[in-house]
Amino acid sequence: MSLMSIHAPMSVSIREAAKACNMRVPARVKLVLAAMILLLAADQVWIGLQSPARAIRSGLAAAAEDTATLRWTTPPDEVRQAIATHFPGYDVRVDPTRFPVEVSVVLPAVGRTTCLEARALARRIEGAVVVALDGYGHAADCRGENDMTWRIMP
């Protein structure tokens, strides 16, 4: 077996490369790709503009949807991971010991303003899976820092 070396010209200009790409990618495909990138960017901007309480509610709703799709025999670590991914930026604690009856989600150190807003927005989320906030029946229950617990009940 012998080694062969292949020598390729390294003098391809950017124009030639761009021209080659234009010839290979139809305009419709480019349009679809541009639209997809725009939608993903808009989604990220929307997430960034949400208040923390709205982000908590969105995370709880998404976690509830994921919980509904889990098998009843799903191992606790997989349940924990499936739910925790919906709360970026929080040191979320997920307790799946009572799954499939319920899963507890604790968001620690939630500030007073976010607590008040989350209490109003995400006290109870109904659907195929119910999400309910434990405690915080009155606005006065929201203090400077709050460990807020929701129960996700498939």
Contact present, 68 and 129 (Cβ < 8 Å) = yes
Q: Is residue 57 located within the same domain as residue 132? A: yes
Task: Judge whether 78 lies within some domain.
Answer: yes
Task: Judge whether 77 lies within some domain.
Answer: yes
pLDDT of residue 30: 78
The DSSP string of 40-109 is HHHHHHHHHHS-HHHHHHHHHHHHHHHHHHS-TT--HHHHHHHHHTT-TTS--EEE-TTTTT-EEEEEEE
Distance from C-alpha of 137 to C-alpha of 128, rounded to nearest angstrom: 24
Task: Judge whether 4 lies within some domain.
Answer: no
Highest mean pLDDT among 45-49, 74-78, 136-140: 74-78
Task: Judge whether 6 lies within some domain.
Answer: no
pLDDT of residue 35: 81
Query: What 3-state DSSP class applies to 136?
Result: coil
pLDDT of residue 46: 61
Task: Judge whether 3 lies within some domain.
Answer: no
pLDDT of residue 49: 62
| Predicted confidence band of residue 56 (pLDDT cuts 50, 70, 90) | very high
Task: Judge whether 140 lies within some domain.
Answer: yes
Q: Is residue 101 located within the same domain as residue 28? A: no
* Mean of pLDDT values over 62-83: 96
Q: Is residue 23 located within the same domain as residue 74? A: no
Task: Judge whether 41 lies within some domain.
Answer: yes
Q: Is residue 86 located within the same domain as residue 121? A: yes
* Mean of pLDDT values over 13-17: 65
Task: Judge whether 138 lies within some domain.
Answer: yes
> Which domain does 140 fall in, by range?
51-153
* Most distant CA atoms of the chain, gap in Å: 81
Average pLDDT of the chain, as a whole number: 85
What percent of the chain stands above pLDDT 90?
Answer: 64
CA 77-80-81 angle, to 5 degrees, is: 85
Q: Is residue 40 located within the same domain as residue 116? A: no
Distance from C-alpha of 3 to C-alpha of 29, rounded to nearest angstrom: 40
Entry field: residues in the chain: 154
Number of folded domains that form the chain:
2
Q: Which two tokens stand for residue 151?
A: 């129960």
> String of b and e for 76-105 (b: at least 16 CB within 10 Å)?
eeebbebbbebbeebebebbbeebeebbbb
